[in-house]
Amino acid sequence: MKHCKTLFVAAALSAVATVGIVTSCNPAPEGSDPRVEKLLRKMTLEEKVGQTVLFTSDWTVTGPSMRQGYIDDIRSGRCGNIFNAYTADYTRKLQEIAVNETRLGIPLLFGYDVIHGFRTIFPINLGMACTWDMDAITRSAQIAAREASAAGLHWTYSPMCDICVEPRWGRISEGAGEDPYLGSAIAAAMTKGYQGSDLSADNTLLACVKHYAAYGAPQAGRDYNTVDMSERWLREFYLPPYKAAVDAGALSVMASFNELDGVPATANAHLLQDILRDEWGFRGFVVTDYTGINEMVCHGYAADEKDAGRLAMNAGIDMDMQSAAYFNYLVDQVRSGEVKESTLDEAVRRILNVKAALGLFDDPYRYCSPEREASQTLTAQNKAEARSIAAQSMVLLKNDGVLPLRKGARTAVIGALAASKDDLLGSWRGAGEVQAVPATIADAIREVTPAVYAEGCKETGDDRSGFGAALAAARSADQIVLVIGEDCQWTGEAASRTSINIPGVQSELLEKLAATGKPLAVVLLNGRPLDLSAVSAAAGALLEAWYPGTMGGYAVADVLFGDVNPSGKLCVTFPRNLGQVPIYHYAKNTGRPYVHPEAKYESRYLDCPNEPLYAFGHGLSYTTFSYSDITLSAASFGAGDTLQASVTVTNTGGRTGTETVQMYIRDLVGSVTRPVRQLKGFERVTLAPGESKQLTFDINPETISFWRADMTWGPEAGGFKVFIGGSSDNVKEAEFSYE
């Protein structure tokens, strides 16, 4: 039996209406599933501990070490959960061992990193966030869930909710960028897509909110590095997306590798108990990240692995991914009283209730379906959706009129990345395979127009021997497409960089191609904000395509040749150079804001403007939009009221286009200082040439609430500004007050 109920979620599922309804499955709101309680009464200590153990199969390696012999551990009842095993046939084989050969026949839970698609790969998450399209993001998660669940999987390690303002960190590619409001909307949309309205359905997946918490803030951008910040900044900037996913019904959470305020997240009772369970009311289970328990020895927080296991269990970690600390020591620790049996029981209860909610006690093989696996994987419909979302995720950073390119014109396509299928998939591509990619960017362009390809140079290294052929190709063509960026394995986990330059000699090649004077469009494949100052100066047009997924080659061609009008908006700021980092729109004003051009004692750089190269929210279209001034429904409002801010947006160009209209607010005086721009609403609007539409955003007390000086959440009376526009640096503004 499963307990489902509908929750009202104060997460931004759509921009203007900031309160949405999602159906959430909660395993134990009124108590535990009776079958779980019955099992708990029968289970030996060893069997209980087995349910807290998660081991990887030998199919995919996603971490540093591996325990051999997982099949024997399943058979002995000492491992109740497996990750990195998939396909209907293989999961059935393992499930049969658990169900038929263990004393209690408790089904296994199968997890996997389904991060931006399972077999049909969507753009990397940073790109997906640039769609600002919650419906599209939900649909991509639904497709991923459909494909993965048919392959026997129950559980995805997604959504990744780590806010990040650190482009050196390789995992910025896996998240939704720098903004807590947009990040929260996306976290909720993905959770809704994976879990659907019925977690026990055979085509939905259990979501896992990760990496809790603040993993996206490692010092100096080095993966796994120390994280430290004030409680206020943690709550205001980093926690909202995790909470939004929990509010949307996610029933598992993954603790992060990092320490926070000196305590590893894996044993951080403040995060796991005070905030997650007591404040947010989370009722699912918490899993560690890969060997997170063992790593507490290296952190200098636990004397040995045994001690680390005790600390983790007592802090609220229900499941141990891959450390084997629970596997090796927990039975003895319960016997000796170091861990209370009731603590272990509670962990097992949470895990078993999620298994019940997934329907595994009704039918342990519900998710293993060779028929569905064959019929629902990489379907024409899934691929069409991937192509359209990929095109939507691309951000037109600059265009001096080169784009859209002319169909029929001779086109030189240059760059190693233009001929790569592998890089289109990005990192964390799940079970996505290169063989499923139908076309590279060069292939796709060739289908549209006469084209010649030359590699020019690789993404890395200093080999310039291909420059000559590339220049010859460029000179013989009417227009040039240069595809440059990063090897996709330079992004993702353990892929931090100390430079955000375009690697190798790619920029040099660009300079030479630009010197031909031919119309030149640069397409970027990368997973982090890069220093594009020189690239932007040299290229006629700049299209940020991220790693666009299985159908990415076609999607790039769709945008380049104008079959799709670009509509992506940056979910992260692009600095002028690394020295500006961290740079993000949610910044404070400081006591000495830089306002006088020649001033010395103001907050500025001597050698670089303060402004980024491309601001959060920026993104061009092949048409143009104009904004009216803002009209407010009143000059002030109070508790229980809603103020409305409206603008009229007009398509002033010659093509139908989609604009993401963004609303920001600023609280002018607070009991603690407030950011100059805080995103508080957005809406996508599609307009035909000449068409106008009035958009209205609600501003209520929740919109202007924050963690006040006394650490209570709420609004403060006083003056505010509201900004509305098509980018954080291009807005109309008006003032109002809250009384």
Binding site for ligand NOJ (CB under 6 A): 62-63, 113, 157, 210, 289-290, 493
Question: Is the distance from CB of 410 to CB of 450 less than 8 angstroms?
Answer: yes
Where on the phi/psi map is residue 648: left (φ > 0), alpha (ψ -120 to 50), or beta? beta
Least separation in angstroms between residue 319's CB and ligand NOJ is: 12
Nearer Cβ to ligand NOJ, position 289 or 318? 289
CA distance 371 to 489: 33
Least separation in angstroms between residue 648's CB and ligand NOJ is: 44
Q: Beta strands 53-56 and 541-544: pairing type?
A: unpaired
Q: For residue 88, which of 297, 341, 280, 372 has the smallest C-alpha distance? A: 372
CA distance 357 to 81: 15
For residue 40, with 0-12 CB atoms within 10 Å meaning exposed, 13-18 middle and 19 or more buried, which class applies?
A: middle
Question: Is the distance from CB of 217 to CB of 717 less than 8 angstroms?
Answer: no
Nearer Cβ to ligand NOJ, position 312 or 645? 312
The amino acid at residue 36 is V
Tokens of 531: 């220093």
Q: For residue 277, which of 267, 265, 287, 285 has the smallest C-alpha distance? A: 285
Least separation in angstroms between residue 275's CB and ligand NOJ is: 20
Q: For residue 299, which of 218, 199, 356, 225 has the smallest C-alpha distance? A: 225
Nearer Cβ to ligand NOJ, position 47 or 113? 113
Nearer Cβ to ligand NOJ, position 257 or 707? 257
Nearer Cβ to ligand NOJ, position 62 or 624? 62
CA distance 674 to 257: 30
Nearer Cβ to ligand NOJ, position 266 or 377? 266
**What is the phi/psi pair of residue 343, to 5°?**
-65, -45
Least separation in angstroms between residue 266's CB and ligand NOJ is: 12
Residue nearest to ligand NOJ (CB): 62
Least separation in angstroms between residue 257's CB and ligand NOJ is: 6
- Beta pairing partners, 220: none
Nearer Cβ to ligand NOJ, position 55 or 627? 55
Question: Is the distance from CB of 236 to CB of 282 less than 8 angstroms?
Answer: no
Least separation in angstroms between residue 188's CB and ligand NOJ is: 19
Least separation in angstroms between residue 723's CB and ligand NOJ is: 35
CA distance 83 to 485: 32
3-state secondary structure of 588: coil
Nearer Cβ to ligand NOJ, position 179 or 493? 493
Here the contacts of 681-686 (C-beta below 8 Å, separation 24 or greater) are 681/12, 681/15, 681/16, 681/18, 682/15, 682/132, 682/182, 683/14, 683/15, 683/16, 684/15, 684/132, 684/133, 684/567, 684/658, 684/659, 684/660, 685/649, 685/658, 685/659, 685/661, 686/656, 686/657, 686/658
Least separation in angstroms between residue 228's CB and ligand NOJ is: 20
Residues with a known catalytic role: 289
